[in-house]
């Protein structure tokens, strides 16, 4: 079918090898030629298909289905409600103070984690980029937190930040902050809870980002640094004027990745709560993130329609923030685009 | 133009072929499983903690050669959430699912997703059960019974005799019961204890709130599903805030590491104790053997927890599952479970059985638990638990925790509790 149709077609932009022969030979296409043609034309699609199929099944379909559910009354404990809710779920969202509180928390923790995380990763990477003893050991070492299962590390941090016998309070006590008489209750107010959770996130991701930066740094030619050194640029100036602009694509990549990760934060705030099953993120929602609120609304309050609306709101927020970050980072690091 | 069209058509064709291939590969796997041709059935039971089923499984399998039982114990909340998800998905639920009374209202309102046990002839069990227990798993219109009761909690107070002695309080269980006929008296005893020892009396404000609320005529919701904060909840909340304000509470959170540690370290001297709690104390603080005793709960009876066994409709072997369910709630097995893990049966006829009536718990100073808990369970007036009971309870408990961690002033607490409960009711 396709071969007869392809024969009279005008020459395309792409060189088609099987058309090297004259039209008279078309009829004598051997099995081998057909196989070759199949290989050239269809094989690439077939090879890439698994990814798109998986994305279709586990990415696009849930996304669209979620959009449909967000316009529905989908309460597990009350199946009698009318099927469609229209935009009711979304209009309710705008007035829901729990949602705004969770958004506030998410951004607070996001700022406290992403900014120090990427800056520290940059410093660690530039340290690792020098001649060090036991270089491989250090490089593997910084990746260890990333390999640690997130639940395990969060449990340890949760004890670390406990009020009565926590190591964090003990260390701070050595510097005269808090102390045994007046220990910091890390779960009693927003600021302390945010710092504790941001610390967990930073600990886990600094090494990972540092390795990405390191890989990018190693592709910067040495003579650029030599020239800069001759011109009198110090280490600090070299880092900001040469290294950062030259690894800019990787910086953009890490900024977007940590934006997505930071806005979807779930495990850490969940397990930081001693009463984790409630999913309220503290007795007054001190550190309840949006992902946690979605979980609570969906599976604790059993209101899947409203939870779906929240998920879509989160999706849009992430798109906007990631876009903003892209523009900002591009500007800051002297982008060429 | 034409070129790009064929390009798309080609892509779509390859995609469609691959989809069909994937579908062809995965089509059969969902239908496989328990139904084998030779009549072999596998029955999966989901529950949490220890239901004392291990030996019973072996026994049942020996008597029924064609049945294999899979015991799947998980975390309390996770099991209920998992069941909810599987019910929505319409696939994957166990053949028999245990449900706690705290989640019963939620599942009872989805009674179309469970096998109606009345259709299977379970109606004859009605007279055998405590009337309120039978009603708890009955659908609102009374036409569908989704589960048969296993245990009930009952309610008593567990206290540390050694700590009571050190504070100059009586240690004999009858004398202790006489100390606190009411919750007012209970708080007075607490003040004495804390005043003398500078130690905390109760484990947590929330564990004072819940038993008191359970004793009220009306809980959070009346039977019209209207929030009734000014009645029962107000009474329970006032006592709780008073106790926290006076520094009687260790401000712990139930079933967390610090709470468990508290049993051994003596962080508190008394706690509300349903029958199933005895096993928990024994497991978490084995070193405190003989230091505990059990007294009556202030203000009369009460109940905390208790479970049901249900059969989700999506199962393929509902008949076999029902046979097993009937066997599990039969008197012999229920007594076996009581002896093994302490769970009190919910069929009052069994309370007269010497195996239960004469049972004394050596860990708790030989307290006659076979007498104490049945009395509580029988003297109970059932309270209607609204659909939103769970979230509302969490919301109010959170307000209590804020009073405990001092981020909320005690006199502002009640208004806050009402506000949060309203919010939970509307969620």
Q: Per-residue pLDDT tens for A61-118?
A: 999 999 999 999 988 777 778 889 888 999 999 999 999 999 999 999 999 999 999 9
CATH number of the domain that A99 lies in?
1.10.3720.10
Residues of chain B with C-beta less than 8 angstroms from the C-beta of A2: 6
Contacts 24+ apart (CB under 8 A), B186-195: B186/B298, B187/B239, B187/B242, B187/B243, B187/B246, B187/B248, B190/B243, B190/B246, B190/B248, B191/B246, B191/B248, B192/B167, B192/B168, B193/B163, B193/B164, B193/B167, B193/B169, B193/B248, B193/B269, B194/B246, B194/B247, B194/B248
CATH superfamily of B41-152+305-352: Periplasmic binding protein-like II (3.40.190.10)
Q: Tens of pLDDT along A151-165?
A: 999 999 998 998 777
Q: Is A49 on the interface with B (CB under 8 A)?
A: yes
Q: Given this model, what pLDDT does residue B22 score?
A: 53
pLDDT band at B361 (very low <50, low <70, confident <90, very high): confident
pLDDT band at B36 (very low <50, low <70, confident <90, very high): very low
Q: Evaluate if residue A8 carries a pLDDT over 60.
A: no
Alpha helices in B109-231 (DSSP H): 131-136, 161-166, 173-179, 183-197, 206-215
Mean pLDDT lowest among B109-123, B197-211, B331-345: B331-345
Please tell me the distance from the alpha carbon of residue A281 to that of residue A290, in angstroms, as a whole number.
10
**Which residues have CB under 8 Å from B255's CB, separation 6+?**
none
The chain-wide mean pLDDT, for chain B, equals 87
Burial class from Cβ neighbours inside 10 Å (0-12, 13-18, 19+) for residue A297 reads buried
pLDDT band at A3 (very low <50, low <70, confident <90, very high): very low
Q: Is A277 on the interface with B (CB under 8 A)?
A: yes
Minimal Cβ distance to A303: which of B19, B407, B427? B427
A2 and B402: CB-CB below 8 Å? no
Look at B222 and B7; give whichever has higher pLDDT: B222
Q: Given this model, what pLDDT does residue B187 score?
A: 95
Residue A168, in any domain of the structure: yes
Please tell me the distance from the alpha carbon of residue A205 to that of residue A121, in angstroms, as a whole number.
8
Q: Is A51 on the interface with B (CB under 8 A)?
A: no
Q: Given this model, what pLDDT does residue B182 score?
A: 94
Nearest-10 crossing angle of helices A97-128, A248-263 = 150
Residues of chain B with C-beta less than 8 angstroms from the C-beta of A162: 258
Q: Evaluate if residue B257 carries a pLDDT over 50.
A: yes
Q: Given this model, what pLDDT does residue A10 score?
A: 47
Q: What's the Cα-to-Cα distance from B315 to each of A243, B72, B93, B111, B212, rounded to whole Å?
A: 62, 16, 7, 15, 39
B242: its two tokens = 């008073």
Q: Given this model, what pLDDT does residue B20 score?
A: 56
Q: Given this model, what pLDDT does residue B51 score?
A: 86
Measured between CA atoms, how close is B409 to chain A, in angstroms? 13
Nearest-10 crossing angle of helices B275-284, B257-265 = 80
Burial class from Cβ neighbours inside 10 Å (0-12, 13-18, 19+) for residue B391 reads buried
What would be the CATH architecture of the domain defined by B156-302+377-426?
Answer: 3-Layer(aba) Sandwich (3.40)
CA B277 to chain centre: 11
When pLDDT is averaged across residues B159-164 and rounded to a whole number, the result is 94
Look at A285 and B300; give whichever has higher pLDDT: A285
If you measure CA to CA, which chain B residue comes closest to A5? Answer: B6
Q: Evaluate if residue A336 carries a pLDDT over 70.
A: no
The chain-wide mean pLDDT, for chain A, equals 86
Please tell me the distance from the alpha carbon of residue B409 to that of residue B405, in angstroms, as a whole number.
10
Q: Is B198 on the interface with A (CB under 8 A)?
A: no
A155: its two tokens = 């449990």
CB–CB of B350/B339 below 8 Å? no
Q: Evaluate if residue B1 carries a pLDDT over 90.
A: no
If you measure CA to CA, which chain B residue comes closest to A159? Answer: B257
Q: Tens of pLDDT along B69-96?
A: 999 988 888 899 899 889 988 899 999 9
* ipTM score above 0.85: no
Residue A210, in any domain of the structure: yes
pTM of the model: 0.78
Q: Is B21 on the interface with A (CB under 8 A)?
A: no
Q: Is B401 on the interface with A (CB under 8 A)?
A: yes
Residue A51, in any domain of the structure: no
- Total of domains in chain A: 1
Minimal Cβ distance to B11: which of A45, A77, A162? A45
B427 and A280: CB-CB below 8 Å? no
Q: Given this model, what pLDDT does residue A7 score?
A: 44
Q: Given this model, what pLDDT does residue A4 score?
A: 43
**Which residues have CB under 8 Å from A18's CB, separation 6+?**
A29, A33, A36, A37, A40
Q: Is A81 on the interface with B (CB under 8 A)?
A: no
Listed by start position, the domains of chain B span: 41-152+305-352, 156-302+377-426
pLDDT band at A1 (very low <50, low <70, confident <90, very high): very low
Mean pLDDT lowest among A16-20, A98-102, B139-143, B272-276: A16-20
3-class SS at B48? strand
Q: Is B4 on the interface with A (CB under 8 A)?
A: no
Note down the domain range covering A104.
Answer: 89-332
Mean pLDDT lowest among A243-252, B152-161, B335-344: B335-344
Residue A77, in any domain of the structure: no
SS3 sequence, B275-287? Answer: HHHHHHHHHHCHH
CA B227 to chain centre: 22
Q: Tens of pLDDT along B229-242?
A: 998 999 999 999 99
If you measure CA to CA, which chain B residue comes closest to A190? Answer: B407
**Residue A315: which of A132, A45, A85, A66 has the closest Cα?**
A66
Give the rounded percent of residues in chain A with a pLDDT score beyond 90. 47
3-class SS at A97? helix
B3 and A79: CB-CB below 8 Å? no
When pLDDT is averaged across residues B5-24 and rounded to a whole number, the result is 58
Please tell me the distance from the alpha carbon of residue B203 to that of residue B265, in angstroms, as a whole number.
12
């Amino acid at each position: 079918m396709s071969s007869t149709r392809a024969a009279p077609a005008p020459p395309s932009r792409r060189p088609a090898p099987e058309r090297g022969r004259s039209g008279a030979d078309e009829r004598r296409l051997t099995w081998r030629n057909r196989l070759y043609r199949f290989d050239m034309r269809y094989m690439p699609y077939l090879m890439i298909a698994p990814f798109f199929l998986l994305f279709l099944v586990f990415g696009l379909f849930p996304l669209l289905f979620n959009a449909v559910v967000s316009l529905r009354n989908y309460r597990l404990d009350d199946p009698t409600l009318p099927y469609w809710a229209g935009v009711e779920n979304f209009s309710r969202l705008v007035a829901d103070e729990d949602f705004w509180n969770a958004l506030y928390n998410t951004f607070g923790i996001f700022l406290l984690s992403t900014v120090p995380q990427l800056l520290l990763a940059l410093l660690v990477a530039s340290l690792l980029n020098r001649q060090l003893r036991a270089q491989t050991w250090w490089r593997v070492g910084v990746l260890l937190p990333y390999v640690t299962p997130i639940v395990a590390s969060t449990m340890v941090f949760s004890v670390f930040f406990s009020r009565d016998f926590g190591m964090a309070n003990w260390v701070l006590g050595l510097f005269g902050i808090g102390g045994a008489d007046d220990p910091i209750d890390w779960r009693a107010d927003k600021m302390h809870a945010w710092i504790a959770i941001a610390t967990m996130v930073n600990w886990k991701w600094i090494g990972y980002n540092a390795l990405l930066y390191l890989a990018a740094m190693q592709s910067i030619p040495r003579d650029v640094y030599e020239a800069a050194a001759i011109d009198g640029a110090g280490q600090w100036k070299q880092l900001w004027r040469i290294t950062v602009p030259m690894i800019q694509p990787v910086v953009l990549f890490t900024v977007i990745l940590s934006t997505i990760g930071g806005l979807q934060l779930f495990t850490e705030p969940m397990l930081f709560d001693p009463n984790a099953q409630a999913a309220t993120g503290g007795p007054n929602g001190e550190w309840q993130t949006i992902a946690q609120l979605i979980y609570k609304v969906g599976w604790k309050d059993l209101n899947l329609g409203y939870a779906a609306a929240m998920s879509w709101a989160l999706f849009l927020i992430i798109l906007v923030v990631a876009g903003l970050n892209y523009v900002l980072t591009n500007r800051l690091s002297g982008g060429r685009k | 133009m034409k070129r790009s069209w064929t390009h798309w058509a080609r892509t779509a064709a390859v995609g469609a072929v691959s989809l069909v291939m994937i579908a062809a590969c995965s089509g059969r796997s969902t239908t496989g499983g328990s139904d084998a041709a030779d009549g072999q059935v596998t029955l999966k039971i989901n529950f949490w903690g220890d239901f004392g089923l291990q030996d019973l499984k072996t026994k049942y399998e020996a008597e029924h050669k064609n049945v294999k039982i899979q015991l799947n114990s998980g975390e309390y909340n996770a099991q209920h959430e998992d069941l909810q998800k599987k019910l929505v998905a319409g696939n994957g639920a166990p053949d028999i699912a245990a449900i706690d009374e705290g989640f019963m209202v939620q599942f009872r309102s989805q009674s179309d997703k469970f096998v109606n046990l009345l259709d299977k002839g379970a109606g004859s069990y009605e007279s055998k059960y405590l009337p309120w227990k039978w009603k708890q798993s009955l659908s609102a219109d009374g036409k569908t019974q989704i589960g048969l009761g296993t245990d009930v909690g009952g309610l008593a107070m567990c206290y540390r005799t050694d700590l009571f002695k050190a504070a100059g309080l009586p240690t004999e269980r009858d004398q202790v019961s006489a100390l606190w006929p009411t919750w007012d008296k209970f708080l007075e005893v607490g003040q004495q204890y804390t005043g003398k020892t500078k130690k905390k009396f109760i484990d947590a404000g929330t564990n004072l709130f819940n038993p008191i609320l359970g004793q009220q005529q009306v809980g959070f919701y009346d039977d019209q599903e209207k929030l009734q904060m000014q009645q029962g909840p107000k009474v329970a909340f006032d006592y709780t805030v008073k106790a926290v304000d006076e520094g009687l509470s260790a401000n712990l959170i139930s079933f967390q590491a610090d709470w468990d540690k508290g049993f051994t370290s003596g962080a508190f001297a008394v706690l509300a104790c349903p029958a199933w709690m005895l096993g928990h104390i024994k497991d978490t603080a084995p070193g405190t053997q003989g230091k505990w005793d059990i007294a009556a709960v202030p203000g009369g009876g009460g109940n905390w927890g208790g479970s049901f066994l249900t059969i989700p409709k999506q199962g393929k072997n509902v008949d076999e599952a029902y046979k097993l369910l009937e066997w599990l709630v039969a008197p012999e097995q229920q007594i076996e479970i009581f002896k093994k893990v302490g769970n009190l049966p919910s069929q009052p006829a069994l309370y007269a059985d010497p195996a239960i009536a004469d049972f004394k718990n050596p860990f708790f100073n030989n307290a006659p638990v076979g007498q104490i808990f049945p009395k509580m369970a029988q003297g109970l007036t059932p309270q209607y638990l609204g659909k939103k009971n769970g979230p509302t309870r969490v919301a109010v408990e959170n307000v209590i925790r804020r009073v405990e961690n001092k981020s909320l002033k005690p006199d502002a607490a009640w208004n806050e509790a009402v506000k949060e409960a309203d919010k939970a009711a509307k969620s």
